Amino acid sequence: MIQLHNVSVTYQQDVCALHGISLMVPKGDFVFLTGASGAGKSTLLKLIYAEIIPNRGQVIIDSQNISRLTRSELPPLRRSIGIVFQDFRLLPNRTVMENVAITLEVLGLGRKEIVERVTRILTQVGLEQRMQATPCRLSGGEQQRVALARALVNEPKILLADEPTGNLDDENKARVLAILKEANCRGTTILVASHDRRLIASSHKRAVVLERGEIREVHDGAR
């Protein structure tokens, strides 16, 4: 479960990115974070994977307060979270397969298991023919799916995706959404930051609308 209690984040002392946010995401939920650019969607995701620490309030992930985590407690938490970055963050010198395998190498899995699991997830995202390509040889949609595969390959408890459908055509958007829903069906809690209102509406999932660092409204996503 993800819990945010009265969380505020200020950048460079005076730029307020989030202000008094309280949010609860139960285990297995699928939530969209939406709002205009600068509303605080990415900042909220960064709080959950502890890239930043709140100036005020508490962020609790599976009963762990991220402000109180020691250096040795942080890696295990991050291993339970899959992240799809807005800029993909694929390593240009490594192949698609190696990019996806990073998550499993960190977990310490054996060679055979890594190859099996990477092959399975790349097949699932439709990139089984592109395993030996480097990211620069892939289209934007393919790079997006590699990033998604890397985040999902270790079957994380939580998946955070920052604009996973940005700059994708409708076919690729639907494909990405289907992959996310499938992961959600297997029990992964999913938080997606997106400003794509059509995608959110078509997903029928809960949506939290952010505006200038505050929660403006919450749609329950029911049909």
Name the residues that contact other proteins, by CB under 8 A. 49, 51, 71-72, 74-81, 83, 89, 91, 93-95, 97-98, 101-111, 114-115, 119, 131-132, 150
CB nearer to other proteins: give 37 or 93: 93
CB nearer to other proteins: give 34 or 143: 143
Output phi, psi for 156, to 5 deg: -70, 160
Cβ neighbour number for residue 123 with a 10 Å cutoff: 13
CB of 201 to other proteins, least distance (A): 31
* Coil, strand or helix at 193: strand
CB of 80 to other proteins, least distance (A): 8
CB of 41 to other proteins, least distance (A): 17
CB of 30 to other proteins, least distance (A): 22
Residue 183 CA to residue 171 CA, distance in Å, equals 19
CB nearer to other proteins: give 22 or 123: 123
CB nearer to other proteins: give 12 or 72: 72
CB nearer to other proteins: give 84 or 215: 84
Residue 213 CA to residue 10 CA, distance in Å, equals 10
CB of 72 to other proteins, least distance (A): 8
CB of 128 to other proteins, least distance (A): 10
CB of 109 to other proteins, least distance (A): 6
Short-list 178, 219, 209, 208, CA closest to 2: 208
Residue 138 CA to residue 46 CA, distance in Å, equals 27
Residue 147 corresponds to which tokens in the numbers above?
């990033």
CB nearer to other proteins: give 23 or 122: 122
The edge-to-edge listing of strands for the beta sheet with 214-219 is 81-84, 158-162, 189-193, 30-34, 206-211, 214-219
Buried-state track 17-50, b at ≥16 Cβ within 10 A, e below 16: bbbebebebeeebbbbbbbeeebbbbbbbbbbbb
CB nearer to other proteins: give 34 or 188: 188
